[in-house]
Structure 1
Amino acid sequence: MRITAALGGLAALAAGLLAAAPAAAEEEGRPRSQPVAREELSTGWSVPWAIAWLPDGSALVTERDTHQIVRVTPDGERTAIGTVPNVVSGGDGGLMGLALSPHFAHDRTLFVFHTAADDNRIARLTYDGTTLGGYEPLVTGIPKAEFHNGGQLAFGPDGHLYASTGDALQPELSQDLDSLAGKILRLTPEGTPAPGNPFGTLVYSYGHRVAHGLAWDESGRLWSAENGQDTYDELNIVRKGRNYGWPVCEGPCTEPGMANPLLTWAPPEAVPAGLTYTDGTLYMSTLRGQRLWRIPLNGAEPGTPQAYYAGELGRLRAISTVPGGGALWLGSSNADQVGQQPGADILYEVTLDEGVAD
């Protein structure tokens, strides 16, 4: 196992770490969850991509290549609620990220990230409990390509929507603040730049290659899991206005003004696809690595990662913490452009057990 903790990144984030030092001290030795069992919850999927939880405890799941959103009950019963219009599949594009409005119980609104004929875009829809409708594009013109489309969506603790975009196979766009490629975007539910964005645009951070996983810890820190090129995949803390280095840096970075990752992996052990948080711990799904990484946190400092299910389930993508925190839902990605096994994907429920001190 080749894992490299980017110590330079910790130095570069010294101010933030000092501020978090009391919390880190309190968390050191804290019992944390670990996977103890898994079961097949639902079979017959083709690239389940994102999971979002409904108020009744069931979830909505996007299926990338069919462009469907499917409701899944806690016991695995599936109901397709509708097909998102204007979606075009190809490469790693299609119907990707999904996020429910923080006020979903009242406004019945959800958001998707998808590839269209000429671009990637973020759109708003409604779900009345039975059917999907009301498609409205909010952000268009996000560069698209066969690969490196990004596509993650998540609402932050501040009530704003965050989106990860890939470099669209044009690495120079990640450093271009006039481009929406290679960025993490922050927007209002109406699709406008969120108040306090560092450049007065949708851009929140830049210099990303393909940030697929986004997750907040209980202290409100935003973590991202990012695909590298040939040498390093990354785990980062995302901060407003920061430059994460791509394509100048891949992995550890000493360039002035560019952030270091806090952890790196060799791509054969990772290629991150999803990230979720519960009980002081990040869980990262991986495609090429075909394993689930468990990453304990001490404040803003990640501990030693541990791998689960290596080579047992194939490629892994969709991941989310079940409300209440006692389990994860984890989806395989063996029907994608690499695995090429239509209908072979499985949605698993992974039971977590507390009591492990890291």
Structure 2
Amino acid sequence: MGSICDESVIENVDAPPTYAPSLPVPNVQELVKKEPLQIPDRYVRDQDDRPQMNDDMSCLSSEIPIIDLSLLSKGDKEELSKLDLACKEWGFFQVVNHGMAKELLQNMKDATVEFFELPLEEKNKYAMPPDDIQGYGHAYVVSEEQTLDWSDALILVVYPSQYRKLKFWPSTPTGYKDIIEAYSKEVKDIGVELLRSFSTIMGMDKDALLGLHEELVQALSVNYYPECSRPDQVLGISPHSDTSTITILMQEHDTHGLQIKHINGGWMLVKPVPGALVVNVGDVIEILSNGKYKSIEHRAVTNESKARISYASFLVPRDDVEIGPLEHLIDSQTPQKLYKKVVYGEYLRSSMKRPLEGKAHMQMAKVET
């Protein structure tokens, strides 16, 4: 989920918050339609930042942990141990047996494809306003000089329901609002189960993390990555870690694009597992765990032949919640606090004042050494 909003927005936590202004930029899908072989200069990456299309550490992709949510929900010790290891060593895992119906997953994909196939003037009925990120457009564009991402997005705050700005929820195709609602409700239920398991592996009562959030805030970012004639020169989304507690992502099952930065520094493709959802540790968990679990940099790459869509749901605390290292996790392995206490709404908006740049935004929460 660009600039600090008015402090009254953070204090009035029951009002729909405003998150971030983002500068208007061209629609990438339209650029490709008009000039499919052209890559405008603003999208071309410096040599060092370009994806190496044949060096994606594919051999390691199959090692990304797969976690069975049905076992986690029963408190299965072996599966909880797998979750702990996944969060320590990867920061990413794929979750299966999550209970969401295949039909709902497919309905979400089908309706979203229909939305992005609409004429631009129709999609622009839901365009982001100048002061916020809800709606159709681009987030995190904070300067005229920054290199742009090869993607367009539809971003909606879904929960709590009083935060919704329904004028940005597409009424075309018919039933899309209801599908977004049904999909997001299932994601929320999955997120609640996951946060209970996170509480357990962090040595707390299973509802402790949910209590800390006071009320889960959930946003949905549907990202559309058009095909690109030179995928080696652009990025669909710049490298970043998520400011969330956890992020739950649905990928296309037949089109690759998500890459994570492995512990050894190389970029590695996350190959979709049919029916699975990808989950990653966000900055909030890294701060609460005092770095035991780390939010991992990730990015999206494009391809020459086919557009790709991803569906990222961000579960975060309320704006007024204070986050910092949990005292019982300050131990012999990490005896010093690596992070200070921060108000989540201030942390989030501080990160949105800057373009996506890896984990640079986390500096505001780090203890100075």
Q: Return the TM-score normalized by structure 1.
A: 0.24
Q: Which of structures 1 and 2 has the bigger CA Rg?
A: 2
Q: Relative contact order (C-alpha < 8 Å, sep 6+): which is higher? A: 2
More helix by share: 2
Structure holding more strand per residue: 1
